[in-house]
Chain A
Amino acid sequence: MLHYTLQRLVVAISVAITVSIVAFFLLHLSGDIAISIAGPEATPAQVEAIRQQFGLDRPLVVQYLEWLWKAVRFDFGDSFYFRSSVVSLIASRIPVTLTLGAISLCLSLLIAVPLGVLAAVYNGTIIDRLALSFSVIGQAIPTFCLGLGLIILFSVTLRWLPVSGASTWKHYILPSIALGWYAVPAVMRLSRNGMLEVLSADYIRTARAKGLSPGVVIFKHALRNAIIPVVALAAVQFGFMLGGSIVIEAVFSMHGLGYLAWEAIARNDFPVVQAVVLILATIYVGLTFLADILNAFLDPRIRLA
């Protein structure tokens, strides 16, 4: 188990470093940052001055290493636009996004897993077909459309919930539904397929032959094994949600990390964009690492190997 953990850790760290390289070079190669900062009306001399001021004239590798060296000490430089340090900006915005992501994840798991289990247990019946149709339709609704639809219904027409902002718990209800919705079809399908596979396993027949009740067979013997891949997917989906929160935060004007990134991109505020990409990628890598470890813990075949 220790060996396994270390092995996964090495992979996770190297992926995080690679992602930082990709993120850095992607932004620097997509266009000339100096021109973007200087604005369309700037003269070549002004662009050159900016290039020198921000050290953009040095080789990319040098710029990257300097950036990385600072980044590992949580120094992402200063924002071009917000006139404050990137770290303090991120620190003030990240709680909103993490809260939103966590609520959305819980919500989607609470809906998707029971639905998937039900669909598998009643495989081939109307319940199964309804669940599958629900997932197909669910997948087709873009999160921002759902968000806008929820606003029109619950905020404008019914006036139950606030339209935008993130100041009270009520502000989190609609965004969480819209963001959590996105993960429901994938989690539902995986729970259903995992459950179907497990339910046809020999050990389920053994459990039934022992005379165990359907509840014990489904929850103790089947779900425990079917849930293992769902754990990994949940971690991945949480990462996707944090990344996808940019859309939802924009719809609901929630000032989280995604909203910050959106503002920063629109204003060519590269230090902020780079930092957010790196942080989201690192969180994702950390989550998949945790999922691997949790998987190993849940599956004695890996844990005791």
Chain B
Amino acid sequence: MSNIAPSLAPATEPARFDVAPERRTPFSAFLRRARRHGGLLIGAGVLLIIVIAAVSAPLIAPHDPYAQNLAQRLIPPIWHPKGSWEHILGTDKLGRDYLSRLLYGAQISLLIGLLTVTISGVIGTVLGICAGYFGGRVDAVLSYVITTRLALPVVLVALASAALVGGSLEGVIIVLGLLLWDRFAVVTRSATQQIVRTDYVAAAQAIGCSTPRILFMEILPNILNALIVVATLEVAHAILLEAALSFLGLGVQPPLPSWGLMISEGKQYMFFSPWVIGVPATALIFLVLAINLVGDGLRDVTAPENRT
């Protein structure tokens, strides 16, 4: 190819094609994507309002949620022609202020959601990481445990156990915590399996890091995103289950203002006063919807490549 001499001058300017994308830290990229995600924003907004309302319930609740007033039973909410400003959301069959009960009920739902997921998250994550990291026989055994857990009819077992434990708030939390770890285990197991194959885990093994160190310093931080998403969605799951248990009369016991219990207590009046179940049901739906939107949004934003 020597017939063409390099007669022309060498390149004097680099080609201008496109500006390279500016450098971003993972967190600012996360914020940027989060700000564009409508569902996440709406969910987070609603959730924030509910959390603030629950935390400040003692300050903003107009009445004592347990104070009965049989003279003022089943007062309809404010939008009803017979409603009154005294009880904005009306009163229940014992004359207790519905808004106040709703606010304190939010505390119960959030408490149950968070504590349950703390218990189930620890169980599920430990099982999942061990199954994914050690593989082989450990994985076979733990997968079997997960399969067995999935075969248990959750609602039924939770009901029976909660009834035996005595239908207290703590009882419900412990029972649900011990039952709802399956999704944590499944997700961490497959996430760990993917990470174990990466070079940095091999490198950590090669320089002689201890197994617990690899599990908690190398693997756990890298599955944290997936864990947060599962935890969020499981909070919603736990809240729904608690509501169902309380609705069936075997979860949280009266006079605690659990939303499920409020619906259950209102059931006999729903033909003439549908709002008695409508108000707590709407609150429940909004809370669960908000949490699910946040969970789905976090999944989209933290791992846009494997959105499902």
Which A residues lie at the B interface, using CB under 8 A? 11, 14-16, 18-19, 22-23, 26-27, 30-31, 33, 36, 136-137, 139-145, 148-149, 151-152, 156, 189, 193, 236, 239, 242-244, 246-247, 250, 258, 261-262, 265-266, 268, 273, 276-277, 280-281, 284-285, 288
* Chain B residues whose CB sits within 8 angstroms of the CB of A285 once the complex forms: 151
Say how far B41's CB is from chain A's closest CB, in angstroms: 14
Complex Cα distance, B39 from A262, in Å, reads: 38
Given contacts A22-B148, A140-B285, contact A243 B153 (CB under 8 A): yes
Instruction: Report the nearest B residue to A245, measured CB to CB.
Output: B155
- Per-residue interface assignment for chain B, residues 150 to 162, with 1 indicating a CB less than 8 Å from any chain A CB and 0 otherwise: 1111111101110
Beyond A152-B271, A243-B155, A265-B163, 19 additional pairs, beta carbon < 8 A:
A16-B151, A19-B152, A30-B160, A30-B161, A139-B236, A144-B244, A152-B274, A156-B274, A236-B150, A242-B153, A247-B155, A247-B247, A250-B247, A262-B159, A266-B249, A277-B152, A280-B156, A281-B151, A284-B151
Residue of B nearest to A281 (CB): B151
A-B pairs with beta carbons under 8 Å apart, 14 shown: A30-B164, A36-B164, A136-B296, A139-B236, A140-B292, A145-B263, A145-B284, A148-B267, A189-B308, A243-B155, A265-B250, A268-B163, A273-B156, A277-B152
Partner of B157, one of A26, A136, A242, A266: A26
Q: Give complex CA distance A19, B153 in Å.
A: 10
Interface residues on B, range: 35 or more
Whole-angstrom distance between the Cβ of A202 and the nearest chain B Cβ: 20
Using Cβ atoms and an 8 Å threshold, which residues of chain A touch B277? 145, 148
Closest to B145 in A: A18
Interface 1/0 per residue, B163-197 and A, CB below 8 Å: 11110000000000000000000000000000000
Does B248 have its Cβ within 8 Å of any Cβ on chain A? yes
Q: Tell me the residues in window 235-254 of chain B with beta carbons closer than 8 Å to chain A beta carbons.
A: 236, 240, 243-244, 247-250
Residues of chain B within 8 A (CB-CB) of A276 are 156
Chain B residues positioned under 8 Å from A26 (CB to CB): 157, 160-161
- Residue of B153, B281, B288 near A281 (CB, 8 A) is B153
Among A15, A145, A193, the residue within 8 A (CB) of B308 is A193
Interface residues of B in 257-280 (CB under 8 A from A): 263, 267, 270-271, 274, 277
B190 to nearest A CB, angstroms? 15
Tell me how far the C-beta of B51 lies from the nearest C-beta in chain A, rounded to whole angstroms.
17
Chain B minimum-CB-distance residue to A149? B281
Complex Cα distance, B144 from A244, in Å, reads 23
Q: In whole Å, how far is A255's beta carbon from the nearest beta carbon of chain B?
A: 15
B285 touches A145 (CB 8 A): yes
Report the separation of the CA atoms of residues A201 and B159 in the bound assembly, to the nearest whole angstrom.
Answer: 45
Distance between Cα atoms of A33 and B163 in the complex (Å): 11
| B211 at the binding interface (Cβ < 8 Å) | no
Residues of chain A lying within 8 A (CB to CB) of residue B142:
none
Q: Which 6 A-B pairs have the closest CB atoms?
A: A243-B153, A30-B164, A140-B289, A31-B164, A140-B288, A145-B281
In the complex, how many residue pairs between chain A and chain B have their CB atoms under 8 Å apart? 132
Q: For the complex, is B147 an interface residue (Cβ under 8 Å from A)?
A: yes
Nearest CB of A to B294, in Å: 11
* Known A31-B164, A136-B39, A243-B155; contact A156-B271, beta-carbon cutoff 8 A: yes
Report yes or no: A266 in contact with B250, Cβ–Cβ below 8 A: yes
Q: Roughly how many angstroms separate A276 CA and B153 CA in the complex, as a whole number?
A: 10
Take A149-B281, A243-B154 as given contacts and tell me if A27 and B160 are in contact as well, using a CB distance cutoff of 8 Å. Answer: yes
For A140, the chain B residues whose CB sits under 8 A away are 236, 285-286, 288-289, 292
Chain A hits for B163, CB < 8 A: 265-266, 268
> Which of B147, B164, B274 has the most chain A CB within a 10 Å cutoff?
B164
Interface pair A246/B248, CB less than 8 Å apart: yes
CA distance A242 to B296 in the complex (A): 27
User: CB-nearest residue of chain A relative to B39?
Assistant: A136
B 284-303 binary contact with A (CB < 8 Å = 1; else 0): 11101100110010000000
Mark B73-98 against chain A: 1 for CB-CB distance below 8 A, else 0: 00000000000000000000000000
Contacts of A273 in B (CB 8 A): 156, 160
Across the two chains, which residue of chain A brings its CB closest to B249? A266
* CB <8 Å contact, B164 and A280: no
Distance from B146 Cβ to chain A, minimum over Cβ atoms (Å): 10
Q: A139 vs B163: C-alpha distance in the bound complex, in angstroms?
A: 27
Look across to chain B and name the residue whose beta carbon is closest to the beta carbon of A141.
Answer: B285
In angstroms, how far is the closest chain A Cβ from the Cβ of B106? 15
Whether the pair B284, A244 counts as a contact (CB closer than 8 A) is: no
Give chain B residues whose Cβ lies under 8 Å from the Cβ of A250: 247-248
Q: Whose C-beta in chain A lies nearest to the C-beta of B274?
A: A152
A262 pairs with B248, CB closer than 8 A: yes
Contact B285 A30 (CB under 8 A): no
Closest to A27 in B: B160
Chain B's nearest CB lies how many Å from the CB of A79? 15
With a cutoff of 8 Å between Cβ atoms, the chain A residues found around residue B292 in the complex are: 136, 139-140
